[in-house]
Amino acid sequence: MNKEKQCICQDTQRHFLFRAFDSLGLEDAQRELLLSSFRETRFSIPVVLHRDGRDTLCTFQGYRVQHNHARGPFKGGLRYHPEVNQGEVRALAQLMTWKTALIDIPFGGAKGGVTINPAELNKSELEVLTKRFIQKMEPLLGVHQDIPAPDMGTNAQVMAWILEEYSKTHGYTPGIVTGKPVELGGSQGREEATGFGVACVTRKVAGGMSLHLEDTRIVIQGFGNVGFHTAMTLARMGARVIALSDVRGAVHCEAGIDIEAARAHVAQTGWLEGLPGTEPLSNEAMLELPCHILIPAALEAVINCDNAGAIQAKVIIEAANMPVTHQADTELQERGIIVVPDILANAGGVLASYYEWVQNLQEFPWEHESVLRRLEQHLLRVYGEVSHHAEENETDLRTAAYELAIGRVNKAIQLRGF
Ligand code: NAD
């Protein structure tokens, strides 16, 4: 994320948090504790890279921010990206604390990362870098202490290297990391969990508005892991997805897009562009299409002061992290547009991570159907709690979600007495 976007996101996150702090009536000392990281560690990671016919020593910067563990072990992904820095990792670690608390799983929040462009390293260089990073981070980690997961620029293979490095000194420990390959104790259903959860929440919201999914016009921005699995699950549920997009642009078809055909087209050409039976559209125009439900599933801050007034959806489901800026959020609320916040809508991924950890502790893998059934029930229960809290307190879903999450963390801190 570039510096400008990072500032917008941090500003947005602070705004949402402070709104909830105010409505909860928290004192300054409580706010300070809730905002403080438990521990922030910076590592130097030296790796020898073979470039231009000679060996060159390169030292990369790595971070692990452990924000809060009042409710359970620290939990959060590792990001490999050229713009990773301590401020960004700190903000993302905080977000994990609120997300795990909102969905009421026994984890706290953490995040880590390395300032690197992973595309510039070959596979064995990435393996060396990852294992060296874990050697340095090892004293912080533990199945009941801190459990990493994938994030931008990392994947199941990186998690497998973490498992291997940690297991060298601790014995085979699959529960040390989530998002692993299924062959090494990863969970069935993890791959589609986030998008599947977004689709379940979308169906629930449509039902609450007395909309039949077949008649509900849905627009989805982004056709990567989250966007694709959201679209695919909604299509299986019978929904009508009228527009989809990727980084190149959008495609539109009022009668509904065949998601399987879109997937096949992307597999063949690399892009949605030119999908038979659809009209091309710009990403900006797509966000402003008349529709019932808009699902941003690509980037942060795509709905902002510039376009909030032009959004015609009745509901926005935040599948991406922070796709709506706080100024846009206020404008959308004034216009009566419902926003289901990211910490609720895209929590299916961290929920599946929790299930993976539980399966590892039990040494008992669950079946695919069982993972998805539990995930749907769990997420809809949380959606019900948030809706109920919002109605009771005459507030919006985002403030309700933050109030519930912060309240739980604050309560745990008080009970534990630190
Ligand atoms: P991804 O990299 O798999 O896919 C991103 C998609 O967005 C791609 O289709 C890409 O073409 C598209 N895109 C990029 N720039 C775009 C632009 N300017 N306009 C329109 N589309 C654009 O990423 P993902 O894993 O699907 O994650 C998407 C979002 O969801 C991110 O905000 C991520 O932080 C969030 N998220 C992901 C997960 C998860 O489990 N993957 C969990 C929680 C939140």
Q: What is the pLDDT of residue 6?
A: 80
pLDDT in tens, 290-341: 999 999 999 889 999 999 999 999 999 999 999 999 999 999 999 999 999 9
- Three-point CA angle 177, 36, 42, nearest 5°: 55
Place of tokens 């984890």: 107
Q: How far apart are CA 376 and CA 399, in angstroms?
A: 23
Pocket of ligand 1 contains residue 298 by CB under 6 Å: yes
CA of 44 to the centre of ligand 1 (A): 29
Q: What pTM did the predictor assign?
A: 0.95
pLDDT value at 92 more than 80: yes
Q: Do the beta carbons of residue 216 and residue 240 sit within 8 Å?
A: yes
d(C-alpha 372, C-alpha 375), whole Å: 5
Residue 8 confidence class, pLDDT cut points 50, 70, 90: confident
Q: Is 111 a catalytic residue?
A: yes
pLDDT band at 46 (very low <50, low <70, confident <90, very high): very high
Quick check: 272 and 251 in contact, CB under 8 A?
yes
Task: Count CA within 13 A, CB hemisphere, residue 162.
Answer: 29
Helix (H) or strand (E) holding 156: helix 156-170
**Is the model's pLDDT at 99 over the cut of 80?**
yes
Rounded to the nearest 10 degrees, what angle do helices 193-208 and 225-236 cross at? 50
- Cα(196) to centroid(ligand 1), Å: 14
CA 223 to ligand 1 centroid distance, Å: 7
Kindly state the average pLDDT of the residues 372-383: 98
Instruction: Please state, for a pLDDT cut of 70, what percent of the chain lies above it.
Output: 100
Spatial separation of the C-alpha atoms in residues 59 and 49, rounded to whole Å: 10
At residue 232 the predicted structure's pLDDT band, cuts being 50, 70 and 90, is: very high
Whether residue 37 has its Cβ less than 6 Å from ligand 1: no
pLDDT (0 to 100) of residue 204: 97
Whether ligand 1 lies within 6 angstroms of the CB of 151 is answered as no
Closest Cα to atom 16, ligand 1: which residue?
247
Query: pLDDT (tens digit, 9 = 90+) per residue, 244-275?
Result: 999 999 999 999 999 999 999 999 999 999 99
Identify the structural domains of the chain with CATH numbers, from first to last: 39-184 (3.40.50.10860), 187-418 (3.40.50.720)
How much is the pLDDT for 2?
A: 76
Catalytic residue, from 75, 99, 111, 180: name it. Answer: 111
Residue 3 has pLDDT above 80, yes or no: no
What is d(CA 249, CA 179) in angstroms, rounded to the nearest whole number? 30
Check pLDDT > 80 for residue 33.
Answer: yes
Count H helices, E strands: the chain? 14, 12
71-91 residues labelled b (16+ CB within 10 A) or e (exposed): bbbbbbbbbbbeebebebbbb
The residue with greater pLDDT, 6 or 97, is: 97
240-246 and 249-252 strand pairing: antiparallel
CB proximity list for 195: less than 8 A, separation 6 or greater: 225, 226, 227, 228, 229, 230, 231, 232, 233, 297, 319, 348
How many residues appear in the chain? 418
Indicate if ligand 1 lies below 6 Å from the C-beta of 247.
yes
Cα 299 to averaged position of ligand 1 atoms, centre (Å)? 6
DSSP state of 222: -
